[in-house]
Amino acid sequence: MVRRAIVDKNGLKKGTWSREEDDKLRAYIQRYGCWNWRKIPKFAGLSRCGKSCRLRWLNYLRPGVKHGNFSEEEDDLIIQMHRKHGNKWSRIAKKLPGRTDNEIKNHWHTNLKKHHKQMQTAVQEKDDPRENSESVVDHIEMLETENSVTNATSQEKMGERISCLPSQDTFWEELSPLCCGYSSVPEVNCTAGTGLTSMKILEESNVDFWTGEGLIL
DNA sequence: AAGAGTAGCAACCGCATCCTT
DNA sequence: GAAGGATGCGGTTGCTACTCT
């Protein structure tokens, strides 16, 4: 299920990524971070365009990316999010840690679309009470809205909670190879360092690893 | 067994938006 | 504020594997 690798007129390779290319890109980004997607292929020794590298990293090589079957919970969430936001795949992906917008989009077109149509037909035939009740998505987003309203307070709390983090620069320098693809980092008030690794700190601080936002518990 | 049709998904393309100068 | 470059996003394509006839 892959595209044959070809070389275009500019000498840039297209199509399937080989293992060797994956290794090169992964090694480069883990070492230097993704400071400029256009220049990375050159420095990493790849005959690919920056866009292609970015996509490959975000969808496959990035640590934490889940592959394989979607759970029922994930399916439900996708369906509800799609009902609410339409084809806003990146937005939907933010609610599913480890899933990429591309994967969700594919999953929707191959599996959920059919299911969704069946559901809609069923709803039209028999008025589905779920259509009128508050969905999980609505509830989550309502909480998020409340969270953003009290953002200042939250940030203060966040500052307190992770005031033990290393300096901001050190912190994101260490994390940058893992956080590539996200153009912004959260405004985190970091102060004195500790012996904890950044990953460990993230795990313990209720900060969403992928978005940098505080998690709703 | 073989050819046709379909499903699944990685990857590309082009436009939109953001960021920097 | 304008322009140009970088990045993000969603639609679409192309290829292989699988299923059906």
Above 80 in pLDDT, residue A36?
A: yes
Report the alpha-carbon distance of residue A27 to residue A119 in Å, rounded. 45
Quick check: helix, strand or coil at residue A207?
Answer: strand
Task: Report which residue is nearest nucleotide B10 when distances run from CA to C1'.
Answer: A2
Least confident of A18-22, A70-74, A124-128: A124-128
The residues, ordered by sequence, that sit 6+ positions from A196 with a Cβ below 8 Å of its Cβ are A164, A204
pLDDT digits (tens, 9 = 90+) for A175-206: 444 444 443 333 333 333 333 333 343 333 44
CA–C1' distance A28–B20 (Å)? Answer: 25
Report the alpha-carbon distance of residue A110 to residue A122 in Å, rounded. 20
DSSP characters for A134-196?
PPHHHHHHHHHHHHHHTHHHHHHHHHHHTTTS--HHHHHHHHHHHHTT-S--------S--SS
With vertex at residue A137, the alpha carbon angle to CA A133 and CA A140, rounded to the nearest 5 degrees, is 110
Quick check: helix, strand or coil at residue A30?
Answer: helix
pLDDT, averaged across chain A: 67
Between A75 and A133, name the one with better pLDDT: A75
Which nt sits closest to A3, CA to C1'? C15
* Residues of A 27-46 whose CB lies less than 7 Å from any atom of strand C: 34-39
pLDDT digits (tens, 9 = 90+) for A98-127: 899 999 998 988 887 766 666 666 666 665
Report the alpha-carbon distance of residue A215 to residue A114 in Å, rounded. 32
Report the alpha-carbon distance of residue A209 to residue A201 in Å, rounded. 10
> Both tokens of residue A214?
């505080």
User: pTM here?
Assistant: 0.66
**Model pLDDT, residue A123:** 64
> Both tokens of residue A110?
């191959």
> Both tokens of residue A30?
């883990």
Q: Is the CB of A102 under 7 A from strand C?
A: yes
Give chain C positions with protein CB within 7 A: 5-12, 14-17
CA–C1' distance A90–B16 (Å)? Answer: 14
> Both tokens of residue A173?
């320098």
Task: Report which residue is nearest nucleotide B19 when distances run from CA to C1'.
Answer: A183
pLDDT band at A57 (very low <50, low <70, confident <90, very high): very high
**Model pLDDT, residue A83:** 85
Task: Name the one residue in this structure whose structure tokens are 């200042």.
Answer: A152
Above 70 in pLDDT, residue A137?
A: no
**Among A66, A140, A53, which residue's Cα sits nearest to residue A100?**
A66
Q: Is the CB of A63 under 7 A from strand B?
A: no
CA–C1' distance A202–B20 (Å)? Answer: 31
Task: Report which residue is nearest nucleotide B8 when distances run from CA to C1'.
Answer: A110
Report the alpha-carbon distance of residue A83 to residue A125 in Å, rounded. 18
Q: Is the CB of A211 under 7 A from strand C?
A: no
Give chain B positions with protein CB within 7 A: 7-14, 18-19
Which nt sits closest to A104, CA to C1'? B9
